[in-house]
Every structure is written in C-alpha cells, then in structure tokens.
Amino acid sequence: MSDIENQNQAVFKKSDLSDEQSPQAESPDNSATLEEINRILGDDTPPALNGVNLTAEQLGSLDTMLENENECIETVRLKYLSEHDELTGQKNRIKLHEALEEQIVWSRKNNLFGSFVIAAIDNLSIINDTFGYQLGDEVIAAVAYQLAKALRKHDVIGRYSANKFGLILPRCGPDALHSTALRLLNSIADEPIRTSKGIIPVTISIGGVVMPQYANSAQEAVSRSLEALDNTKRKSANSYVVYEHSSEREAHRQRNLQIADEIISALNDKRMHLSLQPIVDASTRKAKHYECLLVMECNDGEMIPAGEFLPIAEKLGLCRLIDYRTLELAIDLLKEDEALHLALNVSSLTTNDPNWLIVMRAKAGRDRSVIERLMVEITETVSINDLEETASFVASLRDLGCSVAIDDFGAGYSSYKNLRVLDVDVVKIDGDFIKDILQCKEDQIFVGSLIALAKSFDMKTVAEWVDNEETACFLRDMGIDYLQGFAMGRPKVVQLKSQKQDASSETTEEAVAQAQ
C-alpha cells in the first residue's frame, strides 16, 4: 500500500459511509445473496435456492427492509458530515469551536494553561493554480494527516477553513507552546507531501495563543490566533508567532472596533459626507475636476477621513456599500451644480459589480451630462489583479459617457500592454514618485517615462501629492497635464443644499469658490 493510501486510510475514518465506497449506499437490486436474505428475513426463513422459493410477500418485505437500511446509513452519514470535515475527516469548524469553548472552561476551572493554534498552508493557492484543485485537496488531506500524527493523545484538531487547521492543546503553557509550534512546523517541512503527481514541497505558518491567560472565550482565542498568524507574514514562510499582550496594540484594536461600529451606524444614518479636493490644470491652475474624498461624521461630531476607516471597512467587507453611498452623493452634487466635474474612487468589489453601473444610470436619470461630468478612478493594483474584468468595467463606463482614470499609477506592476488594454482617459501618477522629485533623479526619470508613455496613448496625466509651488512648476515644465495636492487646494467638506448645514461644512458652491 502506498504512502498516499496510508494517509487517506488514516484520515478518512468515514470511508465506510461514503456513497462511492459503500455498497449499502447504492440502490438495492435483486441480486441479494442468500446470507443477506436470511439476515434480513430472519433465521426461521426456509432456505432458498438462489431466491427461487421466496414468495412475492417476502420479496416485498426484503425490498422495504433494504430501503430502510439504506435510509439509516444515509442518516448516519449525514450526522457524521454535520460534525466532521468531509475532506479530512477531522472536526468541522462548528465542532472545533464547541471543543475550544469546553477546553477554555476546563482550563479556567482547573487553573491550568491550555493553548490554541491555527496552522495555515502557505502556498495552497499556488498549488491549486499550478496543479488543479483536486491535487490541492490531496495536499490538504496529507497535511491534516501529518499534523494529526504530530499531536498528543488528548489534543484536538479540526479544519477551520480552506487552508487552515485549528489545534486545541490542553495543558500547554507558554514554553510548551513554543516547542509544540516548532514540532508542528517540522512535521510538514521535514516530511515530503506525496501526491498522485509526485512530491509537492509544502510549508505551514502558525499563530497561537495561551488560554485563558490571553483568551477567555473561543471567539477571542480564534481572533488572537489569527492576529498572530497574520503577523507571520512579516517573517518568512514556515514560521510561527505566539500572541503577546500589548497595551498599544490593544488600544489600536479597540479604536478599530469603535470605528467599525461608527462605519455601520454612519451608513445607516447617512453621516457619510464628501470632501472635495481640486485637480487643476498645470498651466492655468483652474480646476478641471474635484476628487471626492469621503469623510465620516461620528455621533460626537468628529470628522474621520477616509484613510482612517477605509482599511477597516475593507476588512469588514463594507467597501461595496461605501462605494454606493459615495456614488449617490456625487451624482446628487452633479445635479445641483451643472458646471461641476467630479472624480471618485471605487474598490475592487465594485469593478466586479454590474449593479453599481445600474445604480449609476438610475441615479443620473435621462440626463447623460451628469455621467459625462464624472470620472471614475481605479487603483492600479486593482486593475492588474483581474485585467480582463477591469477592462470590461472600463468599457462599460465609457459606453455610458463616463471618463476613467488609473489611480496611484506606478505603485503596482502595470506594463505597456496593460495600459493599452485598459484604454483609460487619465493616468494619475502615484505621489511617492512626486514628493521628492526635485531631489531624486530616479523619480524624475520614472515620471518622465510615464508622461511620455501616457502621451503615446493620448492619455492625460495627473501628479498627486504636489505640496509646494516649486514642485508644481517643475512638473508643468516636464509636461504633466494636471496637478493635485495641498499646494493646489486642501479638501473641503461639502453638503447638499437639501441637507441641513452646520459650521463644519459648506455648500458645493462655497467649497468650489474657495478652491478656485
């Protein structure tokens, strides 16, 4: 028997319940053996010669009992799958969570340490892309097998998510957790993963927490183990991090939780506002567009800029809702001021959301000029992640009459080909290449090349982070078309005329007048 078969036999405890491997799970036929017939009908049934002596009543009883037996097997199988992961045979996420909660209660009651660990396969996505998901499943099963083999008798393992496993380690304090983490890492790194296509190099990363010292609930244990696991990204693969309490980090986490609550309530209460920053012509210094920068008004009146809450919103999956709210506010402003031109950023979720375009058309109504005065900005990193999908989104926007810009150009890895495929109207050069351009020769060469590239495609260029007059003049002489930064105008929070005004905000007309 091969190593793979050994692994599968050890991991798949449920093999006798599988539809593919269990003959009882298949539909019954009339080829039942004499032993099966006697077992089902009872010992006092007269011996039958290949079923010849069975009456119609007995055959009917046999069929019914076989059906009942198959239903029972299916019930047992479904019960098993409700508690175990189908691929690995380990506890599923729900049962792992229950076992973790029980362990924390036990540790607290007995005044003993325990630990919880999340182990993640480092390169699973690459394996799936290279060899296919079927082989990826083989790797997951093999890693599950080897991790389970490295555990003690009373330790518990379960599959937490696609590439992650949760391990509950009773009577495992801080020192023991470090040695256990090393043992688990070595159990994967030192023993080759054998698959149907040969040996695949695999490593894992580990994040762990000591309970109940730093985790008093299952949810807290999972959260802090994931936080520790996330910190392994700063290290190399095949590494581990154990959660340690930090007052500064805890204060930051509490601040994030507070902002998360504020985001949700601000969306519900319509306390998201636009702050407009001018994008000016490099020669005339007249505003061409105003970029819509979102700000969030807290219950206490504090205004939080997008840079502080958007990363948190992205983690919570709220960027799509924020993009919808930004679009609504922008179109309402465009309807109020027929001379206004706006630019707004969208997230990666929106570039794959056809409903956003539908809402744009619906909000604009029959007035095409509203959309024609709107420029949508897509960050370079978003555009290259799914070039084909982004190109389709850009084409749809242009069909509606909307112009499109690539934002933060130069921050990613866009090529000449990608820029040509996307066919945008404007290229916004990332501010990192602008802020020190007067002193940095490399930045001057890079920006000069981008300007020439954009001109070859008949695209306009915008320099971001222009914070002084000397830089503005230098960029103008280089051939840049538009400038954006504090030297050109600071963002101003605006409200619609229909909204109630307060001391911290201005109407669109007032903000535009000040910027000019």
Give the pLDDT confidence score for residue 135 in this predicted structure.
93
- pLDDT tens readout for residues 397-456: 999 999 999 998 876 555 667 788 888 999 999 999 999 999 999 999 999 999 999 999
Residues in Cβ contact with 184 at an 8 Å cutoff, skipping those fewer than 6 apart: 117, 119, 147, 150, 167, 204, 206
Strand order in the sheet with 156-161: 156-161, 164-170, 114-121, 204-211, 240-242
Give the pLDDT confidence score for residue 63 in this predicted structure.
65
Query: How far from 172 is each of 37, 187, 312, 394, CA to CA, in Å?
Result: 54, 18, 33, 54
pTM of the model: 0.59
Specify whether the CB–CB gap between 124 and 139 falls below 8 A: yes
Specify whether the CB–CB gap between 371 and 413 falls below 8 A: no
According to DSSP, the residues that pair with 463 across neighbouring strands are: 429, 483
CA 25, 28, 31, 37 dihedral sign is positive
- What DSSP string runs through 113-135? -EEEEEEEETTHHHHHHHH-HHH
The structure tokens listed for 502 are 């307060």
Q: Which fold has domain 93-245?
A: Alpha-Beta Plaits (3.30.70)
What is the distance between the alpha carbons of residues 47 and 53, in angstroms, rounded to a whole number?
8
Specify whether the CB–CB gap between 170 and 154 falls below 8 A: yes
Is the peptide bond between 212 and the residue preceding it cis, with omega within 30 degrees of 0? yes
Which portions of the chain are predicted below pLDDT 50? 1-34, 36-52, 501-504, 511, 514-516
Kindly report, as residue ranges, where domains of CATH 3.20.20.450 are found in the chain: 279-289+322-515
Specify whether the CB–CB gap between 295 and 324 falls below 8 A: no
Q: 279-289+322-515, superfamily in CATH?
A: EAL domain (3.20.20.450)
According to DSSP, the residues that pair with 204 across neighbouring strands are: 121
Kindly report, as residue ranges, where domains of CATH 3.30.70.270 are found in the chain: 93-245
Residues in Cβ contact with 371 at an 8 Å cutoff, skipping those fewer than 6 apart: 360, 361, 364, 400, 401, 402
- pLDDT tens readout for residues 157-175: 999 998 999 999 999 999 9
Give the pLDDT confidence score for residue 18 in this predicted structure.
36
The structure tokens listed for 131 are 């060899």
Q: Which of 212, 229, 223, 178 is nearest to 102 (CA)?
A: 212
